[in-house]
Structure 1
Amino acid sequence: METKRADTVAEPSRFPMREVVLFAAVLVAVLGVYAVMGSAYSTRMLVEAACYAILALGLTIQWGYAGQFNAGVMGFVALGGFCAMFFSIPVNPAFWETELPGELGRALLYMLGAALLVFGATRLDRLGVPKLLRTVIAVLLAVVLYLAVINVFRDVTGQIESRAGFIGGLGLPVGVGWVVGGALAGGVGYFIGRVCLGLRSDYLAIATLGIAEIIKAFLKNSDWLTRGTATVSPLPWPVPGPSELGFTLARALYLSITAVMIAVIFFLLSRAYHAPWGRMIRTIRDNEVSAAAMGKDINKRRLEIFVLGCILMGIGGAALASFNSIFDPQGYLPLNHTFLVLVMVILGGPGNNLGTIFGAVAVYIIWIMSAPMALFLMDMALTLGAGLGWETPTNLDSRALQARVFVIGLLITLVLRFAPKGLLPEKVKHHG
């Protein structure tokens, strides 16, 4: 007896009216910003929006493709920014021309050896050691080795800070830092995923949020590595800088690089989305029981998508740090580098790559321009109030900056109320 194979129901082709209208509206907004704020300011805005688009694409494949709610985007952005700094800034002779690199290498080897010993202790049950005794041995060994190693490490890092300031960079091309930033973020995402992807979505969000704060705290307090709150600047660009070409042309060249990156990422993600791998990921998201019944390795696929999203976040964070030409660990904030990316994905449509790019550009324009618009409205109100004898308030600039949070909060409320799947929702093909 022949089994009938399910065929995809053919959907009538339609003109993408909604997409055309929304992107036309964004284009009009961009041209308006150029007319009001000037070309240098507006081009800077577009470069930053492009970097945020890469971050949003990383989040949309985690949340939109696989249903993984990552509330720790900030941590992976910071890792990318750190690599952009460490690999691109010049070498520090005050560190490398002394015995300090050898001392630091020895301390790091001690840490690696201690970690391997503790890992080996956690496997003692395979030699017949009772699990309770194994746990006690592993914990005691971890405490003793930590106290022994941390003193050696602190002594070395203290000497680095007092004699060289910090270890400096490697003086390599900027692109190397971007690639390594994506790899480092993906590596950290792999270890996080191995532990956390078995948790429920709300617990995963809490875990990733906490890990992001740990990453930020480490970078902020490691003065020997990042200069901490003293910051590192200027960071080199992958293209000639403003001092050589002027602000507008240099930023336009930087924009072209980020635009090419987005085009390549969009092409690859679109191919993956429509391939069997993408259909499998969405099946796991929508019906995990059915996917497991078909023999799919759910945990492996979840880990793949989580790592892939983290890689894009690391690359986007590296590009953003290089463009801002400064690495400031204290400048990474959950509002700017997690919540804002989340709003971009929600507005555009989780799981829709084109919608995510639209959401990134639209939300960033709103985020940047809400402060000048609020200041303009306040000035108008003051002019009107002066004629009526009202008292003039102070600190209008800081008050206008606070309008950003209000506008974004209002925007996300309206979107969740009237378009909960985003302005360009994911297009799901039905089978029959």
Structure 2
Amino acid sequence: MTRKLPIRELVLFAGLLVAVLAVYGLMGAAYSTRMLVEAACYAILALGLTIQWGYAGQFNAGVMGFVALGGFCAMLFSVPTNPAFWNTELPGELGRVLLYLVAAIALVYGATKLDRLGIPKRLRTFIAIVLAVVLYMAVIGAMREVTDEIESRAGFIGGLGLPTWVGWIFGGALAGGIGYFIGRICLGLRSDYLAIATLGIAEIIKAFLKNSDWLTRGTATVSPLPWPTPGPGELGFVLARAIYLSITAVVIAAIFFLLYRAYYAPWGRMIRAIRDNEISAAAMGKDINRRRLEIFVLGCILMGIGGAALTSFNSIFDPQGYLPLNHTFLVLVMVILGGPGNNLGTIFGAVLVYIIWIMSEPLALSVMHAVTALGEGWFGWEVGGNLDSRALQARVFVIGLLISLVLRYAPKGLIPEKVPQYD
């Protein structure tokens, strides 16, 4: 395998550095550092998507759902405990209902295995469905009584008061666990069908978090969330955000190193073989479904970690704030621009696209004010409407124009995947 000087990468990252320095000069250190922290969090999300789509060809349109799960864990583990809940009998009542839920799941699962006792499969399926419906109605009724009591007496259960990084770890674990369950069901689908399924599941996750006031406070939101580092109140905005940026940079470096080693390992070659020619890989004895599930779960874990880091930095958990435009489409644009399957290109695309996304509004507003002043002075135009809202809409236009240009002139991304060639 021959290696050449990466001229393209050096030129692109030099241009990106110039863009970052220009933002610092125009917007100041506090604003620009905040932008870089958010871009770093989005880079983690984009790395999760690029290994699913770039490595294995799995188009996951449910990024928003896994980001929300990570944010939920960041809130649940870091927020202080709620004495109004824990100093009552409500934890015991909630634990009892959760045990009922576990027992119900175990019973339904056992019913799906009745064919091993000689029961016909159709009868087994009928018994499992009836049992699932009956147990669901019983458990959901008991759960509703307890949760209504929690909301009326304590508001919500509160958090666990643990260090923030614990929430990040469990955010990745929860997203990976849900991803495993989804993958077992949906990975038999292909292309647009998989995208529709994952998008629907993401909306289900968002709806659950939004309507579970006893668990998340729903639309009332939870804030402020603590940081894993000293906050702005202790160090000031610039220094605090710079330290937070260093933490996210370390996380990205660790993820990049592990993915780099995996990509060039036999496991990575096998994943690419399945992506490029699934039939041939199966003929060579590879377990296609297991490997596809592995890559899907790994991507979901990274999305959960990125969502937890982003939620902690914003210091607020709002189930309504997980928008498909921000957490699915924007991440998709980052991957397409950088290059699917190229980890370095994904990081480059994440930072560049987020800079364009953030700066398009103030730049568009400046252009609109200049054109308005020019029109009023030279031609006597009377411009009505709110220019701020129009400038905000320019974000979508700029991103749409950007992705159109990339798909037309660089369909493999600005830093395309370089599959190693061996002699």
The alignment's TM-score, normalised by the length of structure 2, stands at 0.98
Ranges in structure 1 where 5+ consecutive residues have no aligned partner: 1-9
Moved more, 384-393 or 412-421: 384-393
How far apart are the structure 2 equivalents of 1:18 and 1:108?
A: 55
The one of 327, 336, 342 equivalent to 2:326 is: 336
Post-superposition offset of 1:116: 1.4
> Which residue of structure 1 lines up, in the alignment, with residue 5 of structure 2?
15
Post-superposition offset of 1:430: 3.2
> Which residue of structure 2 lines up, in the alignment, with residue 398 of structure 1?
389
Per-residue CA deviations over 1:4-30 (Å, capped at 9, x if unaligned) read xxxxxx43x432111011111111111
1:116 is aligned with what amino acid?
A
Per-residue CA deviations over 1:207-260 (Å, capped at 9, x if unaligned) read 110000000000000000000000000000011100000000000000000001
Post-superposition offset of 1:392: 1.8
Q: Does 1:315 align with 2:315?
A: no
**Number of matched residues?**
422
Q: Does 1:146 align with 2:136?
A: yes
> Which residue of structure 1 lines up, in the alignment, with residue 405 of structure 2?
414
Per-residue CA deviations over 1:172-203 (Å, capped at 9, x if unaligned) read 00010000000000000001111111111221
> Which residue of structure 1 lines up, in the alignment, with residue 234 of structure 2?
244
How far apart are the structure 2 equivalents of 1:218 and 1:74?
A: 13
The one of 336, 339, 345 equivalent to 1:355 is: 345
How far apart are the structure 2 equivalents of 1:38 and 1:260?
A: 24
1:154 is aligned with what amino acid?
R
How far apart are the structure 2 equivalents of 1:35 and 1:375?
A: 18
Which residues in structure 2 correspond to 1:3-402 (within 5 Å)?
A: 10-11=1-2, 13-387=3-377, 388-402=379-393
2:14 is aligned with what amino acid?
A
How far apart are the structure 2 equivalents of 1:357 and 1:125?
A: 50
2:324 is aligned with what amino acid?
P
2:388 is aligned with what amino acid?
D
2:226 is aligned with what amino acid?
P
Moved more, 383-392 or 72-81: 383-392
2:384 is aligned with what amino acid?
P
Post-superposition offset of 1:53: 0.3
> Which residue of structure 2 lines up, in the alignment, with residue 3 of structure 1?
none
Structure 1 stretches of 4+ with a deviation exceeding 4 A read none
How far apart are the structure 2 equivalents of 1:54 and 1:169?
A: 25
How far apart are the structure 2 equivalents of 1:241 and 1:257?
A: 13
Per-residue CA deviations over 1:38-84 (Å, capped at 9, x if unaligned) read 00000000000000000000110111011111000000000000000
* Cα RMSD (Å): 0.9
How far apart are the structure 1 equivalents of 2:355 and 2:422?
A: 39
Moved more, 87-96 or 384-393: 384-393
How far apart are the structure 2 equivalents of 1:32 and 1:191?
A: 45
Q: Does 1:429 align with 2:403?
A: no
2:393 is aligned with what amino acid?
Q
Ranges in structure 2 where 5+ consecutive residues have no aligned partner: none
1:414 is aligned with what amino acid?
L
Local SS of the residue matching 1:318: helix
Post-superposition offset of 1:431: 4.7
How far apart are the structure 2 equivalents of 1:76 and 1:226?
A: 16
1:276 is aligned with what amino acid?
P
1:402 is aligned with what amino acid?
Q
